[in-house]
Chain A
Amino acid sequence: MNYKKIETDHYNIHLIKTERFKTITITTTFMNKIKKDEITKRNLLVDMLVYSCKKYPSRRDMVIKLQDLYAAQISSSCERIGNYNCIKINMTTLNNKYTNKRNLKEAFKFLKEIIFNPHIDNGQFNEESFKINYNKIESQIQTIKENPQKYSLIRMVESMDKKKAYSYHGFGNLKDLLQITPHNLYNFYKKFIRTSIVDIYIIGNIDFDESEQLIKNTFKNKFNKSQIEDLTIENEQPIKIKVIKEKEKGLNQSKLSMGLKTIGLNEFEKKYVVTLYNTILGGSFDSKFFQNIREKNSLAYYINSRVDKYDNLITIVSGISADNFTKIVELIKKEINNMIDGNITDEEITIAKNFYITLLQELYDSPIALIDSYFSMHILGTDDINTRMKKIQEVSKDDIVNLSKKIYLDTVFLLEGDQNEEN
């Protein structure tokens, strides 16, 4: 695998050459400092961009064009990463070897249309497309409770610290949505296309020079090339643990969410130790949570924890019977304390390291995952995959115990069901 980074005045190009795939994937990332009241707008904007464009004005026209490009796929996401918002537009198409000689060139032409030539009529977004995507976003916001575990997690994180960006609802809100018009969304687009920090990644069996030229011909826009600052969110020590219970009508199973803050981690801890800590505690099917709460006590079907390095948070989720709430929370606390007390076996550490290596190996077989890996190297200063494989082995039990003292339980949230088991 060969990697080459090219810095232009307005964006960076990342070329990754590998013979592993018969496809070529192009990802464009747009980063901006997050603003709470812009989240809904950004969600709607990215949906509009990949829905249709001036040249392919209906969704059907877009789909037929993608099909003509040998079933090219386009996907997008709009996510918060720490204090930033990141929009990603991915496009995957077959390598020219399996299509015709012009396919990649045609794919870039298409990408150019959707990013730079949106469906604008008379100085505003096309009303029909706007309405369709508006309704979609509205329904996403309205139906958030229909995934009760996700809703519980959102409510929990919101309760942790209202001032931090992680408390913002990633799916937006109705109040902000109501303010959006086809006209002001277009103004927002014009600002977005000027002020975003842009990176373009391409992976596949590519020719460096050809790809560079195609990208430069596609992206002629003068993006604002500023530095990413204060990406990660730093936390303050909780004064006391918050316990919140909320009743939910019609819910069968209660949804537990817990939030822990990681505070004052050094670089090595952030990159490696916290990953192992989380895997041992609740991040795998061999974790302390899985073994003790599910297997030994039959109290839950799922109980997982995950770490978010950009937010400095560890979150725990589980679907439980409300009667077992106190018991499960005690068992969870017991396992957290076991980490502090050093009740961690060498085997648990080896297993966690092996899982981490498996995760890294898996990156090699997925174009999108490899791009994500180069993305986090670029914006977060993560090490490359090979370095990560070596460095993880250096983590000792003492490192994990020391880290566990920098982790603070902050919030326990229960979305409480009111239905009997047999309805």
Chain B
Amino acid sequence: MKKIKLKKLDQNVFYEKLSSGLKVYLIPYTKKNNYSASLFTNYGSINNDFIPIGEKELTSFPAGIAHFLEHKMFEMENGLDPFSFYAKTGTNANASTSFKVTNYIIWGNNNISENIKYLLEYVYSPYFTDLNVEKEKGIIIEEIQMYNDLPEWVLNDKVKENLFVNHSIRIPIAGSVSSVSKITKEDLYKCYNTFYQPSNMSLIVAGKFDQEEVMKDIKAQMKNKQFNQRPITNKDYNEPQKVFKTYEKIKMNVEMPKLGYAFKINVSHIKLNPFIRDLYFQMFNTLLFGNASLFKEDVRQKDLAVSFYTSINDVDNYKTLEFFAKTKKAQEFIERIDQELKNISILEEDFNRIKKVWIAAEVAIVDNYELNLDNISDDIQKYGDLIPNKIDIIKSLNKKQLDEMINSLNFNNRTTVIIDR
């Protein structure tokens, strides 16, 4: 077990890679009462076309299968479901599926050893039958229908569908009513066997516990099981620079029109370390479009939108910069964004202020064990490991590098989606 100091943040992380390939990160806190554990696999809705373990051919699976699999992991052969197991000690359990990750979490304040062992037990005990797969379809179809009634959800899905031509990020995470209806138990086992190998997964525990004891229990639990450690081959989508569709209008019964305006930006030419590149990208977004930006002030004063937010996603060689706005003046709002991107100028003073803000925010995040867990989890998903010297890295950012990066970006590939009556 390796001790890693989060520098200038008074916090340690203990790390070990087990023989099964599972990466374990323990983040003990002395002044908190509770704990939270997250076991995740690098498998989400975008991993929809791949070579199943033990096979040779690329196979395409019904959309939404990662999310379906997440639901079905709560099925145990002995009939006891994990929710009931955790409920006995007042421990909470949940799971979620995103584009790139399926995450199983528990949180509580007692029985940590047994609870973590059981987390590893149930996630590593797939049990799918024709009957229990059929039964889940009713529940998931209701879940999809719930999302279909939320205009902002629909807009988000549509923006990704129109930005990308080939890539599976085009498909909604939960799939559609017709795609999930096609899922079989055989499909589920193939996906499970490929992506739920411990070598494709990480376990993070944060909060009140003793790291030596918890690590011992984790190892004891994992010792009893045999696992594959085989490489995973996902489809290369060969995603082109251009977008699938530059404009679409969707009819929904909304009082206030919703706008999605998004850029697909090739970043394969940027030679910076990915973490630093992402920080600069975030800096660019914060300075140009954040709460203290002149752009946002202008939007408020000219009433170009009632509200808006931006979001950045990484998809293969691309970054997306997505704007979601509630506005009756979509065209003016878009023109204002375009104008901003044509004349980018960043002041040293603003750049330094944001650095100070980020350092202060880091202290507050690490102080909250749940936020810190999420933060470290994000880093492992994106960069393969945690980043122990974030504050030093933030301090080392310089405006020249940022300017250079921004100048190299191409904002010509974009899509517009409008939801209105």
Nearest-CB distance from A114 to chain B (Å)?
Answer: 16
B389 proximal to A (CB < 8 A): no
Given the known inter-chain contacts A99-B360, A136-B307, A365-B32, please indicate yes or no for A302 contacting B146, CB distance below 8 A.
Answer: yes
Given the known inter-chain contacts A60-B292, A135-B303, A146-B151, please indicate yes or no for A298 contacting B363, CB distance below 8 A.
Answer: no
B211 proximal to A (CB < 8 A): no
- Contact check, A320 vs B87: say whether CB atoms are below 8 A apart: no
Within 8 A of B (CB), among A257-296: 284-286, 290, 294-295
- Contact check, A71 vs B361: say whether CB atoms are below 8 A apart: yes
One of B19-27, B132-140, B228-236, B271-279 at the interface: B132-140
Q: Which of A20, A92, A290, A295 contacts B31 (CB 8 A)?
A: A20
Q: How large, as a class, is the contact surface on chain A?
A: 35 or more
Q: Which of A22, A67, A358 contacts B363 (CB 8 A)?
A: A22
A23 proximal to B (CB < 8 A): yes
Q: Which of B109, B254, B367 contacts A23 (CB 8 A)?
A: B367
List A contacts of B149 (CB < 8 A): 148, 251-253, 417
List B contacts of A284 (CB < 8 A): 87
One of A36-44, A137-145, A405-413 at the interface: A137-145
Tell me, in angstroms, the Cα distance from A364 to B208 when the chains sit together.
Answer: 12
A396 proximal to B (CB < 8 A): no
Tell me, in angstroms, the Cα distance from A332 to B369 when the chains sit together.
Answer: 38
B58 proximal to A (CB < 8 A): no
Nearest-CB distance from B79 to chain A (Å)?
Answer: 11
Nearest-CB distance from A13 to chain B (Å)?
Answer: 25
Q: Which of B138, B145, B357, B364 contacts A299 (CB 8 A)?
A: B138
Residue in A21, A249, A298 with the greatest tally of chain B CB atoms within 10 Å: A298
Residue of A nearest to B31 (CB): A20
List A contacts of B89 (CB < 8 A): 354
- Contact check, A67 vs B292: say whether CB atoms are below 8 A apart: yes
Number of interface residues of B (CB under 8 A): 65
Q: Which of B83, B135, B150, B356 contacts A286 (CB 8 A)?
A: B83
Q: Which of B139, B145, B326 contacts A253 (CB 8 A)?
A: B145
- Contact check, A298 vs B138: say whether CB atoms are below 8 A apart: yes
Residue of A nearest to B143 (CB): A301
Nearest-CB distance from A23 to chain B (Å)?
Answer: 6
Tell me, in angstroms, the Cα distance from A64 to B93 when the chains sit together.
Answer: 39
Q: Which of B90, B151, B296 contacts A354 (CB 8 A)?
A: B90
Tell me, in angstroms, the Cα distance from A31 to B369 when the chains sit together.
Answer: 33
Q: Which of A58, A347, A364 contacts B33 (CB 8 A)?
A: A364
Tell me, in angstroms, the Cα distance from A361 to B296 when the chains sit together.
Answer: 40
List A contacts of B93 (CB < 8 A): 285
Q: Which of A60, A142, A301, A417 contacts B296 (CB 8 A)?
A: A60
List B contacts of A355 (CB < 8 A): 87, 90, 92
Given the known inter-chain contacts A68-B353, A365-B369, please indicate yes or no for A301 contacting B33, CB distance below 8 A.
Answer: no
Q: Which of B94, B145, B254, B255 contacts A252 (CB 8 A)?
A: B145
Within 8 A of A (CB), among B102-123: 108-109
A12 proximal to B (CB < 8 A): no
- Contact check, A146 vs B306: say whether CB atoms are below 8 A apart: no
- Contact check, A139 vs B326: say whether CB atoms are below 8 A apart: yes
Tell me, in angstroms, the Cα distance from A142 to B353 when the chains sit together.
Answer: 37
- Contact check, B136 vs A298: say whether CB atoms are below 8 A apart: yes
Nearest-CB distance from A31 to chain B (Å)?
Answer: 29
- Contact check, B142 vs A301: say whether CB atoms are below 8 A apart: yes
- Contact check, A67 vs B146: say whether CB atoms are below 8 A apart: no
Given the known inter-chain contacts A71-B357, A357-B90, please indicate yes or no for A365 contacting B33, CB distance below 8 A.
Answer: yes
Within 8 A of B (CB), among A316-358: 319-321, 347, 350-351, 353-358
Nearest-CB distance from B307 to chain A (Å)?
Answer: 7
B301 proximal to A (CB < 8 A): yes
Nearest-CB distance from A54 to chain B (Å)?
Answer: 18
Nearest-CB distance from B374 to chain A (Å)?
Answer: 15
A147 proximal to B (CB < 8 A): yes
Tell me, in angstroms, the Cα distance from A132 to B81 when the chains sit together.
Answer: 50
Top 5 closest pairs, chain A to chain B, by CB: A354-B90, A298-B138, A253-B145, A286-B87, A250-B253
Binding site for A on B (CB under 8 A): 31-34, 81, 83-84, 87-94, 108-109, 135-143, 145-146, 148-152, 177-178, 207, 252-256, 291-294, 296-297, 300-301, 303, 306-307, 326, 353-354, 356-358, 360-361, 363-364, 367-369
Binding site for B on A (CB under 8 A): 19-23, 58-60, 63-64, 67-68, 70-71, 92, 94, 98-99, 128, 131-132, 135-136, 139, 142-143, 145-149, 249-253, 284-286, 290, 294-295, 298-302, 319-321, 347, 350-351, 353-358, 361-362, 364-365, 417, 421-423
